[in-house]
Amino acid sequence: MPNDDRLDQLRLDTRQLVIEESYTDLQVGSIRKLSPVDVEGNPDPSRSVQFIGSSQIMTPAGPLPISFELDGPGLKDAIESFPAAAEKAIEEAVEELKKMHREQQSSIMVPGQGGGPGGPQGGMPGGGFKL
């Protein structure tokens, strides 16, 4: 018998329902329009429509998807805000990648520089590197 706590976590939050429409130019990216609805599928005017932009950037490891909020209230506004929002999201993604690269580089241990098994000068057994 399934755990009731896990089942509760799988229930949709009926106060947060949206209907989704997607717009794309088939080249640069896409815009998702999230329109609030009630449990019957009727528009919910008590909540605002949201627009989410998405695109991808090429990295040495392959394409990296990015997504970002766009200004509304209409599709035209979202389209106009797409370039600046995408640029900001790309800058944030690049900074995050640089940060991850720096953290990875700082975790590399060179034999003879201490801290590893074999004492402060011993490095790692067998002269290996921690990547």
Tell whether 115 is covered by a domain.
Answer: no
Task: Give strand pairing partners of 128.
Answer: none
Of the candidates 36, 35, 11, 38, the one whose C-alpha atom is nearest the C-alpha of residue 21 is 35
Tell whether 34 is covered by a domain.
Answer: yes
Tell me what pLDDT residue 4 has.
Answer: 67
Residue 122 pLDDT > 90, yes or no?
A: no
Question: Domain range for residue 89?
Answer: 12-107
Q: What is the mean pLDDT of the chain?
A: 83
Tell whether 20 is covered by a domain.
Answer: yes
Tell me what pLDDT residue 52 has.
Answer: 98
Residue 40 pLDDT > 90, yes or no?
A: yes
Given the structure tokens 């815009």, which residue do they identify?
31
Is it true that the peptide bond before 73 is cis, omega within 30 degrees of 0? yes
The number of folded domains in the chain is 1
Residue 56 pLDDT > 70, yes or no?
A: yes
Tell whether 114 is covered by a domain.
Answer: no
Average pLDDT, integer, range 36-58 = 96
Tell me what pLDDT residue 7 has.
Answer: 74
Query: Residue 121 has which token pair?
Result: 């000068």
In 14-127, DSSP assigns E strands to 18-24, 30-36, 50-59, 62-70
Overall pTM surpassing 0.85 (yes/no): no
